[in-house]
Copies of this chain bind each other. A is one copy, B any other.
């Protein structure tokens, strides 16, 4: 199931993982945190030992995302030698996916693993701390967060809700999606019914299409019956498992709508501030470590699954035509820039992000972008 499906509040079934509401109490023995060192039922021997609940917006063990959340919980528990035990709750186990933000605010849980794109109803600028159309790659985004003023702005925004945020994963650039008809020019977006949520939906609408949001379980029948003409998801790693290649013939990438796919963790700020310095650093380092590890999992998974799609299933992958690229990037940047009108903090966030993005665009031809271009030339 794609993480963005939870925007619709749906608990669809996909990739073998169900996000049904389990109504599990926080002390239920059926919730296994995956860690061996600090049984949740045992009384704490060390009087300072604490147990935290981490809610997530993913099904349990969902590849990359749910497994990443579990790795963070396990690392905190194990690095602290059980002084801070983190128990993981999949979407719906303690609270529904989209109540994770409020659950950590009100103390129902101490921590969450999610994506900032989900909290646009809390603050229009939240997606800048995950990914926005026409934006930046993970490497560029990380430069902005750690060394370009991004973390301070994120702290300020989430701090207003009593939360402390951290980067805690990434999917990398997402694919443009699966289409029933070939996209020859931007005109082919006119009247196109495409399943795409969030800021990307607004881009498709501005291109003349009709964006619809469907939960995971409804996409395949909608595509088969013609209710929709196209859908995007994540990338080969997840798309192959979903089976879109069995229905839609044209696979386009990269997408214009989610160039990073930044994943976050956030902690109740009072609870975080009350931790000892060593435990604060353990929480932070567990998130930082997972950031690169998850992106590596997606990168390797995408590589391998793309090869399977192409070599075993005969899928042809295409780039969007140039006029589509120009129109979609323009519309995406317009959607991003309009958030600056939402208030003083929103303007500072957009201005900081935009200035960093502009430098990154100037730099890319002489850095990773240019290298991959040169390597492709030499390999052709």
| A interface residues, Cβ below 8 angstroms from B | 37, 75, 78-81, 134, 137-140, 142-148, 172-173, 175, 235, 253-254, 256, 259, 276-278, 281-282, 284-286, 288-289, 291-293, 295-297, 299-304, 306-307, 310, 317, 319-320, 322, 325-326, 328-330, 333, 356, 359-379
- By beta carbon, the residue of chain B nearest A317 is B366
- By beta carbon, the residue of chain B nearest A251 is B366
Contacts of A368 in B (CB 8 A): 137-139, 172-173, 254, 368-369, 372
Contacts of A291 in B (CB 8 A): 292
> CA–CA, A293 to B146, complex, Å?
7
> CA–CA, A307 to B164, complex, Å?
32
> CA–CA, A329 to B373, complex, Å?
12
> CA–CA, A140 to B220, complex, Å?
31
Contacts of A329 in B (CB 8 A): 374-375, 377-379
Given contacts A293-B288, A359-B307, contact A277 B371 (CB under 8 A): no
Measured CB to CB, the closest approach of chain B to A76, in angstroms, equals: 10
Q: Is the CB of A139 within 8 A of B140?
A: no
> CA–CA, A259 to B372, complex, Å?
9
Copy number of this protein in the oligomer? 2
Which of A296, A306, A322 gathers the greatest number of chain B CB atoms within 10 Å? A296
> CA–CA, A252 to B331, complex, Å?
33
Given contacts A256-B374, A374-B325, contact A147 B366 (CB under 8 A): no
Indicate which residue in B175, B320, B374 contacts A254 across the interface (CB closer than 8 Å). Answer: B374
Measured CB to CB, the closest approach of chain B to A297, in angstroms, equals: 5
Given contacts A292-B288, A360-B303, contact A370 B254 (CB under 8 A): yes
Q: Is the CB of B277 within 8 A of A319?
A: no
Contacts of A293 in B (CB 8 A): 146, 288
Indicate which residue in B78, B282, B295 contacts A139 across the interface (CB closer than 8 Å). Answer: B295
Measured CB to CB, the closest approach of chain B to A77, in angstroms, equals: 9
Contacts of A326 in B (CB 8 A): 377-378
Contacts of A278 in B (CB 8 A): 78-81
> CA–CA, A326 to B359, complex, Å?
28
> CA–CA, A148 to B333, complex, Å?
35
Q: Is the CB of B299 within 8 A of A139?
A: yes
11 contacts between A and B (CB under 8 A): A79-B282, A139-B368, A142-B295, A144-B300, A259-B371, A285-B288, A288-B288, A288-B293, A303-B360, A306-B366, A333-B378
Q: Is the CB of A361 within 8 A of B377?
A: no
- By beta carbon, the residue of chain B nearest A311 is B362
Measured CB to CB, the closest approach of chain B to A309, in angstroms, equals: 11
Q: Is the CB of B374 within 8 A of A361?
A: no
Given A300-B356, A303-B360, 20 more contacts at CB 8 Å? A80-B278, A81-B277, A142-B296, A142-B299, A143-B297, A146-B292, A146-B293, A146-B300, A173-B371, A253-B370, A254-B366, A254-B367, A254-B374, A285-B285, A299-B360, A302-B363, A306-B362, A306-B363, A329-B378, A364-B375
